[in-house]
């Protein structure tokens, strides 16, 4: 999301985007059940999706088994106020986010029962990435996220902190998208490390799940469009349609595939970039050989100023409980994951 801060609010530079179509125009089907493995659901995201991945991991720490955070700030950073978004994105040089303040809020929410007990976090693998050329969510904001998880007991063995790649604001996928240092749509780029292309989806998934089978050159599973309205009303900002990538191995009985939730950034939903995120972020290539269902929930742009760019709610446009387990967007995502785990 190309953005800058004006009067403390998120303001995104206007530009034209061609919204490609995913699949046919027919009405989306109900989300199928695949009998996915319980207790193996993980999450990752870019930018607003990364802020939401942090929220999901912290609020649902008993259920979410690990998180990948690409250019995202610490939990509850905006404190329910969009005017603090610039601080949370590292745009205010002399005033970075405070991990200690965010830890205090998280502990208070856990004590009240609004989120899961924080003791679960010590057992959760966390991957955090910040590109040195990211001009949108700057490195100091992401460094605060690393410190936040450290203070809540995530040790060095479980915390992967990648902050030395000359990347802009993007997910990094081999051979895909923009040059490494770009901060531009579709927010998918390619970067090399030691002469080898960096595979961020692979780095995230292997940190969260351990050693995996190699990625495939060409995914052969199916992208299923499904109706999100049974999970989230239009007032939540969520789109009519979400997507799930289903490897062939996950369609057989008793496959017990694991679920990974991949969250797009602002102006990166299917409404804005077509299938570029769902098929080009790199997750599907790892899914086929590793029995992974990849869930791609979607947020659309809307007429409300606080969600004009299709961002996940990390500052409170859906209500003051946006970072609690009762938050409408997080409840919807978790209900989708539970649906995937039901017997087919």
- Which residue from 176, 266, 279 is spatially nearest to 225, judged by alpha carbons? 279
99-112 vs 139-151: helix crossing angle, rounded to 10: 50
Q: Is 47 among the catalytic positions?
A: yes
| Active-site position among 47, 130, 189, 302 | 47
The two tokens of residue 179 are 């040059």
| Active-site position among 85, 116, 169, 324 | 169
Q: Is 190 among the catalytic positions?
A: no
Q: Is 169 among the catalytic positions?
A: yes
The alpha-carbon radius of gyration of the chain (Å, integer) is: 18
What is the spatial distance between Cα 155 and Cα 8, in angstroms, rounded to a whole number? 34
Per the CB < 8 A criterion, the answer to whether 207 and 66 are in contact is: yes
Strand 126-129 relative to strand 159-162, pairing = parallel
The two tokens of residue 6 are 């004006």
| Active-site position among 120, 130, 134, 264 | 134
**Residues belonging to the active site:** 47, 134, 169
């Amino acid at each position: 999301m190309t953005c800058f801060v004006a009067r403390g609010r998120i303001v995104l530079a206007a530009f034209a985007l061609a919204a490609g179509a995913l699949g046919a125009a027919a009405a989306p089907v109900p989300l199928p059940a695949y009998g996915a493995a319980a207790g193996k659901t993980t999450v990752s995201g870019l930018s607003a999706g990364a802020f939401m991945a942090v929220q999901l991991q912290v609020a649902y720490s008993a259920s979410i088994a690990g998180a990948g955070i690409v250019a995202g700030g610490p939990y509850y950073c905006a404190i329910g106020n969009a005017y603090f978004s610039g601080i949370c994105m590292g745009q205010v040089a002399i005033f970075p986010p405070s991990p200690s303040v965010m830890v205090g809020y998280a502990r208070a929410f856990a004590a009240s029962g609004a989120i899961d007990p924080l003791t679960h976090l010590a057992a959760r693998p966390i991957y955090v990435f910040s590109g040195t050329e990211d001009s949108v969510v700057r490195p100091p904001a992401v460094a605060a996220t690393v410190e936040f998880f450290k203070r809540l007991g995530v040790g060095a063995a479980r915390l992967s902190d990648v902050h030395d790649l000359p990347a802009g604001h993007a997910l990094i996928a081999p051979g895909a998208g923009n040059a490494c240092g770009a901060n531009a749509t579709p927010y998918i780029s390619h970067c090399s490390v030691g002469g080898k292309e960096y595979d961020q989806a692979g780095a995230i998934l292997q940190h969260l799940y351990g050693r995996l089978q190699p990625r495939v050159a060409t995914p052969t599973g199916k992208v299923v469009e499904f109706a999100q309205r049974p999970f989230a009303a239009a007032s939540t900002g969520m789109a009519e349609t979400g997507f799930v990538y289903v490897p062939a191995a996950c369609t057989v009985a008793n496959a017990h595939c694991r679920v990974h939730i991949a969250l797009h950034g602002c102006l990166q939903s299917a409404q804005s970039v077509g299938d570029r995120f769902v098929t080009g972020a790199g997750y599907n290539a790892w899914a086929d050989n590793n029995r992974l269902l990849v869930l791609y929930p979607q947020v659309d742009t809307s007429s409300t100023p606080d969600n004009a760019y299709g961002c996940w709610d990390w500052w409170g446009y859906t209500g003051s409980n946006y970072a609690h387990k009762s938050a409408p967007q997080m409840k919807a995502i978790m209900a989708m994951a539970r649906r995937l785990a039901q017997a087919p």
